[in-house]
Structure 1
Amino acid sequence: MRPAVETTYCDRCGEPAAGVSHEGCLAARELEPPRFCGHCRRRMKVQVVPAGWTATCVEHGTLTGH
């Protein structure tokens, strides 16, 4: 699921969140973890396990999901 916090960048494609339709990204994020930090656009370290996933930005910390 997408975080409830407003972000500057799309966490799937890394492009600016405003001004562009991210319908494909939203659909993909139902099944996939984020790949980019929504705050700084850095590529995140992502680990997927059977119980869920973790995505870590060196600047903004870790997100988890299942």
Structure 2
Amino acid sequence: MTTYCDRCGEPATAGDHAACRTAREMEPPRYCPSCRRRMIVQVTPLGWTARCSKHGEPAS
């Protein structure tokens, strides 16, 4: 369940996140969509990994 925007960290239902959706086409997520924690993000030439200390790692 997505509660927060994974780019800006604000509540997913607050405001318009069109700019976030556009940016996410080229960028990895920065915030955990479940708990709003900053994720540990590693970008490589082949993709990215992002890990929340509480919820683990989504796939790129």
| Contact map agreement 1:37 1:44 (CA 8 A) in 2 | yes
Q: Percent identity between the aligned chains? A: 62
Aligned length: 60
CA RMSD of aligned residues (A): 0.8
1:36 alignment partner, SS class: coil
**Which residue is equivalent to 2:12?**
17
Which amino acid is 2:24 matched to?
A: R
**Which residue is equivalent to 2:3?**
8
Which amino acid is 1:51 matched to?
A: L
TM-score by length of 2: 0.95
**Which residue is equivalent to 2:57?**
62
Cα shift at 1:37 = 0.1
Following TM superposition, the consecutive aligned residue runs of length 4 or more in structure 1 with deviations greater than 2 angstroms are none
**Which residue is equivalent to 1:41?**
36
1:53 alignment partner, SS class: strand
TM-score by length of 1: 0.87
Q: Which structure carries more strand by proportion?
A: 1
| Contact map agreement 1:52 1:64 (CA 8 A) in 2 | no
Cα shift at 1:58 = 0.6
